Each structure stands twice: as structure tokens, then as C-alpha cells.
Structure 1
Amino acid sequence: MASINVSKDAPQSNADFDTGKSYSGPLFLVTMLFFMWGFITCLNDILIPHLQQVFTLQHWQAMLIQTAFFGAYFIISLIYYLISITKGDPIGRIGYKNGIIIGLVIAAIGCLFFYPAASFVSFGFFLFALFVLASGITILQIAANPYVTILGNPSGASSRLNMTQAFNSLGTTIAPIIGGYLIFGTIGEVEISADAVKLPYIGLAVTLLVIALIFKMFKLPQIGDQEVVVSDSGALKHRHLLLGVGAIFAYVGGEVTVGSNLINFARLPEITGLDEAEASHYLALFWGGAMVGRFFGAIALADFKKPSNRFWLILGIAILAFVSILYVYELQMALYALAFIALNILVILVGRFIPNRTLWLFGLTAMALLVVGLLTDGLLALWAIVALGLFNSIMFPTIFSLAIRGLGKYTGQASSLLVMAIVGGAIVPLVQGLVADISGSVQLSFVVPLICYLYIVYYGVNGYKVE
């Protein structure tokens, strides 16, 4: 999923930064974490249609997969928040390295729980395994995001985070392809079995434990990051933060629910009637759009001595994306993708590289795409939903940076509250599942993320303002 960006107003706690040291090695290791949790998170979109068939679930029951996963973000972040406002930052006390290792081990244990869950053919056990897995990833997010901001020169903090976010998106892009092959297996298999998830998640557990061992053996720089212990809830007094919490909730909820339902949407006879394995390629394009959009956003908001360099870089990425899709798929898919990439660039230019303006324009475009997906059918409807990935791209970091502006000593406390809002990924998909079941239409249920993007438009227009 998305990672945390940092505003220029946020304090960078890297007083011990040594200009004579190279941090490329540690940064490379931390970047692997962003890739891994992006990959693991997106596998949920493959699990949903698979387990829905294994256990003959209704739509709302299948969405409990996301509820269990993203619910862990809320519970673990809440515990972290309560500890931090009374005892100080737990990660600061045990160190970023140990925090990362603990998160990796817990996530690996969650992956291993998939084996008994499949053996007992228990949906409840699967939900428990997902909760444990997501608990580990939450700890990773809490430890890794701030570590990236202090792992080097303060002036390069945003650039380092944008780079790691791009690798997070790379994980979400390839997960549907690899996961679709490993979990769905051969197209047209006679019996759909829970056992199909055993090998992929055991492989993930081994990978996470190997990474934890590498972190244990690798000497990471000890950079001071001691924050002032804040014993009151002063962050809650700021309107733009509270509304920002709602915007993060809406963004994560909207993005996750679209990704969770995209395969089932593509399977509809009036859309394309694709099977799960074929539809997973469109899911990969949805998450790939987020990666391309993040590159565009990073370039658009960067400082260039020559403004023309920004244009050429964006054009180069657009051409590379087109050629890559053409190479992997076919001309028709590449042309559809190119059309929506051009639309994304146009909206960025209209936004004039102003964060809040770009945010509400992206939200408005996302709403327009959802209306197309709701009112049309065939490939046009499918591509309108797939293209949402491009316009989700800059939302999380932009909302996050706007929400923590001017909070000073309350920035850390505000960050915990914003991470808690990721619980939107647990609640909104469940709501969409209920709407799909009650209305009898997966297509009609996309009105739920439409409401989410409407709130994001409001935050970009008015809610972000500091009072």
C-alpha cells in the first residue's frame, strides 16, 4: 500500500547525521522493506476472490480479509500512540534496527500461520493469520518510515521517501501477477483448494526471516532520534489534522476497496467476463499506475534548475511505461494505458505543482472515472477503474504532509493518529461488500469509494487549511 511522506515543516530528528558517512547500504536494506510490505499487502487482492470461492463467501464476508489486515494497523498504532504519549517513543527506546527486526519476525509468524489455516480449512484462522501478519507490517511502518527521513542529509528526506515509495509500488505492481500464478495456478483447475496458499506464504515467511537475519548481521548507523515526551493530546486541537485523519481514512479505504473488488468487477459478464488469472493482470496495472503516478508526482514537486528537465523526465517515464505494457501485454492495453497516463500528466499540469490543488484535482478526476465505471460497461468501464491507480498515487503523501503542517512537538503524536486512519482499509471494503450484497451488483457498489474521493476533494479545497 502507501508510505509516509514528510512535509517541509516536519522536524527532522537527525542531529547526529555525519556528512562523512555513506548511508546507501542501510537505505538499500530499508528500501527492501517497502517493497516487501507493498507486495504482501497487494496479495490480499488475490486472496479475496480465491478464499471467496473456497469458503463460498458473500461479498461482505470476503471483505473481512481486509478488515482483519487493516484492523491491525488501527489496533497496533493505537497501542503505540498510547504508549508514546505517556512513556515516550517505544522505537526510540529499543532502536530502529530492533524495531524493524521485531516487525519482520512477527510478519513471518503471520505468514507461517497460513499453513495450519489451510490445513484446517478455517476462514477464521486465515483472518487471524492476516491480523498477525499485518501487526508485523505495522511495526515495520512505524520504524522504517521515520528512519528513512533521518538516514542521511535532512534536505534529501523527501527524495529518499519518494524513492522508497516507488519500490513499495513496485511490490504492489508485481504481486498480482506472481500471486495470481502461484495461488490461482493453472487456468481452469478442477478443484479450488485452500492448500494453494501454503507454498506462497511459507516462501514469504522464509524471505522475511532471511531479511531479519540480514538486518541483525548488518551494522546500521545509530542516529539520535529522541523526541520530547508529550503527556497531553495537544495534536487533537488542530482542525486540519483531524480532517486529515478523515482524509487518510477515505483515501486508504477507497484505494483498498477498489483493488479488492477489481478482479470481481472484471469477471462480470457485462464488463469483460475474464477469469481470475486474466483479471489479475488488470489489478497489476492498477497498482502499476500508482507507481507511475508517484514518479510523476516526485518529479513534479522537485526543484529543477531547468524547468524543461521536469518535462523531459515525465515524458521519458510515460514512454517507458507505454513500452513496458506493450512488451508484456498487447497494443490495445498499451494504448488505453497511454491515454490515461496523458490524462494524469494533464491534471498535474493544471494543478501547477501546488499540493492541495493537485490533491483535489486528482480526487475530482477519480470521481469522474468512478462515474464512468458505474454507468458504462465493457473495456471502457474496466479501464476507468484501473486508471484510478494513477490518481491515487500522490494522495497519501500529500494528505499526510498537509495534515502535520505547523504541529511542531506534536508531529510524532499526529503521525500516530494518521497511521491509525489506515483502518479505512478495514472498514470501507466491508461497507462496499455489504452494498454489493444488498443491491446484488458489484458495479453499483463502487458508489462507496466515490463518496471517499468526494471527502478528499473537500480536504484539498478547504480542510487542509491551518487555523
Structure 2
Amino acid sequence: MALAAPSSVSAPATTDPSGASPRYTSALASLTVLFFMMGFITCLNDILIPYLKGLFTLSYTEVNLVNFCFFGAYLVMGVPAGWVVKILGYKRGMLVGFLIAALGCCLFFPAAESRTFALFLGALFVLATGIVTLQVAGNPYVSILGPPETASSRLTLTQAFNSLATAIAPPLGSMLILSHLPDLKQLSPAQAAGLDVSAVQQLYLVIGAVLILISAVLAFLKLPQVEHAPAAAGDTRRAWHYRHLVLGLVGIFTYVGAEVAIGSHIVSYLQQPEVVGMSAAAAGYQVGLYWLGAMIGRFAGIFVLRNVRPGRVLAVNAVGAVLLLIVSMNTSGAVAMWSLLAVGLMNSIMFPVIFTLAVAGLGRHTEDASGLLSAAIVGGAIIPPLFGMIADSHLGGGGVHALRLAFLLPALCYLYITWYGLKGHVRQDV
């Protein structure tokens, strides 16, 4: 199931560090903006969660409905988005994604004005639907713009700019949103009802305007067309008939769930007196370091993945994440904080490597596979609420002990990713 390869793919004269031929370098450069905005919007959830927790006086379990709603859109809309991209093509699919995401941003204004949690969740679902469409169109497009052996390196390059955005979003969100939030421990329901919501409204309106502007620019860009080879006579296989894709779906599910569960609770974890006892705003700035580690790792991964087998790099990083979580769970102070934040560095190459290993050799099934992989991002909706339930429980004595115990859940996710990197990605038909 190979691509109908253009001449620049089959025999490129020169390549950039990502492995792309000169014909595709400009297209990859323009796509970095897409990945930047996806990362920025998604990571703002880590700041929105403690804000909504204070605004509506929610428990950990309740506030994780933010992640459930946002990442649940991947399950509901992932496959339909794949159909849209297959019909409209990669470029038009991206345009649709930008416009839907812009609409979701605009819906934050009435949601904040009415101070209704359900409307916030509705706005997040619409916003996430746009991000899903962008993911479905952007990820496979990057992976097939050049030689397959450097696909992981190319997607890691664009994902590095996604991580740049995730490093910027938390401190900016803390400055614009959490700085308006008083001490959560002393916040009464009456005070919560009087919290200022204009900062949230203004921030998301600006993001919506930027998304519309980007879509207008994208409409005038000329992106290369990539055609897939037709199916061989008698070949009736579908995307889910490939074992490495099916196991990759589980890999994406566990990776996103673990990453989001950790990122969404860093603020609450660092606020605990037994850890470092930071304020919400100060802890919010530390979240940026979690995502900064992912950015640094992805830029480094561009070169590492050209010299080391992607599956091996994936397994090493997953083992590192498990070890760092164990250290954080059993220490306090600076060691507990920095070991948890360093998990971001281990996360760095996981998504692009799992994605490219899962779609390798799928040819005409690439768009369908991308939709399925995007649906698997629903792990960000399932695993964080389970994390929250453990954190709310009385296991281990409750309180910070239960919160620490909850980190065993993402640790189990990373153990599966270790296996996928070593064995699970080997290509066999189901």
C-alpha cells in the first residue's frame, strides 16, 4: 500500500533536517502555524481547569468534565473528520477546522457571561471539534510529505512548534486568567459568583480572531497535492485490518490520557503543602515548564529520530516517564516538583512517533487511519476523570496521598507505550 510517489519523494536531491525535500519545505513551514495554534488552545485547558474549579466550586472529578468534553470530541468527531478530509482534501479540511475552532472560541463569551458550566462545556466541544479536524488533516499530511523513513522526524518537527505553544500558553494564561483568582482554599460560593470573567472572554475572542485570520491566509497558499496509489485488484482490507494501527490506537489513547492527566493536575499538586505549597498563579507558571520540556525534547528528537530507530526512542522515553513519576510520588519539595515537570521531556516524541508508526504503509487508508487515531485522543477524556476519582478518594489516607497515588494511572499508560515501542508497532495484518 504505497503512495503514488512524486519524483521529489522518490529521489529528492537534498533534504532539510526534517527529511523533507525542497518541494515540500514551504508547505511544512506553513503547517507549523497550524500546530502552534492547536497546542496553544489545547494547553489553555490546564489553566481553565483551576479557574473553573474556583468559579463553580467543583471537585476534582467534576472539573475533569472539561477534559472529558474537550477530548470526548475526538471520539465523537474523529471518524467524521476523517470523512470530511477524504472528501475535501487536506487543505480544505484544515480551513474547515480553523473556522469551527474560531466559532468555539466565540462561544466562550456567552458562556462566561451566563456563568453556566454546561455552556462552557458546550463551547469547549465546538472548539475541540475544530481542533480534531485540524489534527486529522495536518498529521497525516506532514507524515506523507517526503520519504517514509523520515516521517517521524518531520512530524516531530511540526509537533515541536505545537510544544512551543504549550510552553507559552500556561504562563500567559496564568497572567491573564489565574492572576484574577483568589486563594481557592478561602473562596466562598458568594465570592466565586463575583469572580471577573472578562479575562476569559477577551482571551478566547482574540484567539478566535487569530484563527479566522490564519484561515484567510491559508486559503491563498498553494500546498502540494499528494495522491495515494489505488488498491490492488481483490484487496478489500480496511484501515482497522492492520495490527500495528489497532495497537497504535491504544498507544495514542494511553499517551494523551497520561499527558493530560498530569498536565491538568500540576497546579493542584504543587499547591499541596506536602509538595511545595505554591499559589495557583505561581503553580500555573510551572505548568509551562512541563510543556517546555516537551518542546525541547521534540527539537532534539528531530535529529535523534534520524539516527535511532523510532520504536526504541519511544520505549526509552516511556520508561523514563515511569521512573520520574515514581520519584515524584515518593518525595517532596523541589525533587517532587521537578521530577513531575520532567515527565514533559519524556512525553516529547511520543505522539509523533506513535502516530507515524501506526500509519506506516497504510497508503490509501491514511485518512481513515488518521480519523481513527484522532478518535483515540479520547484518552484525554477518559483517563483524567479516572485520575480525578482516585485523587478524590480516601485511598492511601486521602488528601495529597490519594493525589500521589493517582499518578500510578499514567504510569501504567507509559508501560503500555514501552511495549508498543519495542514490539507492538511491528507491522502485521490482523
- The TM-score normalised by the length of structure 1 is 0.79
Question: Is the alpha carbon distance of 1:222 and 1:22 closer, same or farther for their aligned partners in structure 2, counting shifts above 3 Å?
Answer: closer
Whether contact under 8 Å (2:255, 2:350) holds in the other structure is yes
Name the structure 2 match of 1:357. 312
Structure 2 residue aligned with 1:39: 40
For residues 426 and 195 of structure 1, the distance between their equivalents in structure 2, rounded to whole angstroms, comes to 27
Partner of 2:204: 201
* 2:178–2:284 contact (8 Å) kept in structure 1: no
**2:15 counterpart residue number:** none
Residue number in structure 2 paired with 1:309 = none
Read off the aligned partner of 2:67 and give its amino acid letter. Answer: Q
Deviations 1:311-330 (A, max 9, x none): xxxxxxxxxxxxxxxxxxxx
Residues 461 and 198 of structure 1: is their aligned pair in 2 closer, same or farther, counting only changes over 3 Å? same
State the 1:211 CA deviation.
1.0
- CA distance in 2 between partners of 1:42 and 1:198 (Å): 17
Offset at residue 302 of structure 1 (A): 2.0
Tell me which amino acid in the other structure corresponds to 2:77.
I
User: Which string of whole-angstrom CA distances, capped at 9 and with x for unpartnered residues, describes residues 322-348 of structure 1?
Assistant: xxxxxxxxxxxxxxxxxxxxxxxxxxx
Question: Which of the residues 223, 226, 248 maps onto 2:225?
Answer: 223
Consecutive unaligned residues of structure 2, counting only runs of 5 or more, are 13-20, 184-190
Structure 2 residue 419 is matched with structure 1 residue 458: yes
Q: In the alignment, residue 263 of structure 2 is paired with which amino acid?
A: G
Write the distance in 1 (CA, Å) between the matches of 2:22 and 2:353.
31
Distance in 1, matches of 2:175 and 2:236, equals 50
Letter aligned with residue 225 of structure 2:
I
Q: Deviations over 1:197-228 (max 9, x none)?
A: 11110110111111112223x24145143564
Greater shift in the superposed pair: 63-72 or 145-154: 145-154
Consecutive unaligned residues in structure 1, runs of 5 or more: 1-9, 84-89, 304-352
Instruction: Give the distance between the partners of 2:118 and 2:361, measured in 1 at CA.
Output: 44
Question: 2:119 aligns to what?
Answer: 125
Cα displacement string for residues 254-285 of structure 1 (whole angstroms, at most 9, x for unaligned residues) = 00110001111111111111111111221111
Q: Counterpart amino acid of 2:288?
A: A
Counterpart of 1:183 (choices 169, 177, 182) is 177
> Do the aligned partners of 1:235 and 1:414 also contact (CA within 8 Å) in 2?
yes
- Report how far residue 409 of structure 1 moved: 4.4
Q: Does 1:101 align with 2:102?
A: no
Q: Does the residue aligned with 2:267 lie in a helix, a strand or coil?
A: helix
Helix, strand or coil: the match of 1:220? coil
Cα distance, 1:72–1:16 mapped onto 2, change above 3 Å: farther
Contact 1:51/1:194 (CA < 8 Å) preserved in 2? no
Query: Greater shift after overlay, 144-153 or 101-110?
Result: 144-153
Find the residue that maps to 2:320 and give its secondary structure.
helix
Provide TM-score, normalisation by structure 2: 0.85
Show the counterpart of 2:60: 59
Report how many aligned residue pairs link the two structures.
401
Alpha-carbon spacing, 1:227–1:111, altered in 2? closer, same or farther (3 Å): farther
Aligned residues: percent identity? 44
The amino acid that maps onto 1:389 is G
Task: Give 1:205's aligned amino acid.
Answer: G
Q: Which residue of 2 aligns with 1:30?
A: 31
What secondary structure sits across from 1:431 in the alignment? helix
Q: What is the rounded CA distance, in whole Å, between the counterparts of 1:360 and 1:159 in structure 2?
A: 16
Counterpart CA distance in 2 for 1:154 and 1:367 is 30
Q: What's the offset of the Cα at 1:123?
A: 0.5
TM superposition shift of 1:72: 0.9
Q: Distance in 1 between matches of 2:5 and 2:165?
A: 28
Could you say which residue in structure 1 is the equivalent of 2:216? 213
Amino acid at match of 1:459: Y
Shift of the 17–93 alpha-carbon distance from structure 1 to 2, 3 Å rule, reads farther
Moved more, 456-465 or 45-54: 456-465
Quote how far apart the aligned CAs of 1:37 are. Answer: 0.7
The answer to whether the Cα contact below 8 Å between 2:228 and 2:363 also exists between their aligned partners in 1 is: no
Contact conserved, 2:254 with 2:413, CA < 8 A, in 1? Answer: yes
CA shift digits 1:269-305 (9 cap, x unpaired): 11111111111221111001001111222111225xx
Are 1:297 and 2:301 counterparts? yes
d(CA) in 1 for partners of 2:22, 2:337: 49
Q: CA deviation at 1:66?
A: 0.8
Alpha-carbon separation, structure 2, partners of 1:21 and 1:387: 35
Once residues 237 and 154 of structure 1 are traced to their aligned partners in structure 2, the CA distance between those partners, rounded to angstroms, is 20
Of stretches 13-22 and 232-241 in structure 1, the one that deviates more from structure 2 is 13-22
In the alignment, which residue of structure 1 is the partner of 2:408? 447
Q: Say whether the 8 Å CA contact 1:245–1:421 is kept in structure 2.
A: yes
Indicate how the Cα distance of structure 1 residues 122 and 302 shifts in structure 2: closer, same or farther if over 3 A, else same: same
Task: Map 1:304-315 onto structure 2 (within 5 A).
Answer: none
Answering whether residue 72 of structure 2 is matched by residue 71 of structure 1, we say yes
Give yes or no for the alignment of 1:278 onto 2:269.
Answer: no
1:4 aligns with none
In structure 2, the partner of 1:236 is 240
* Post-superposition offset of 1:150: 5.2
Asked if the contact 1:290/1:390 (under 8 Å) is kept, the reply is yes
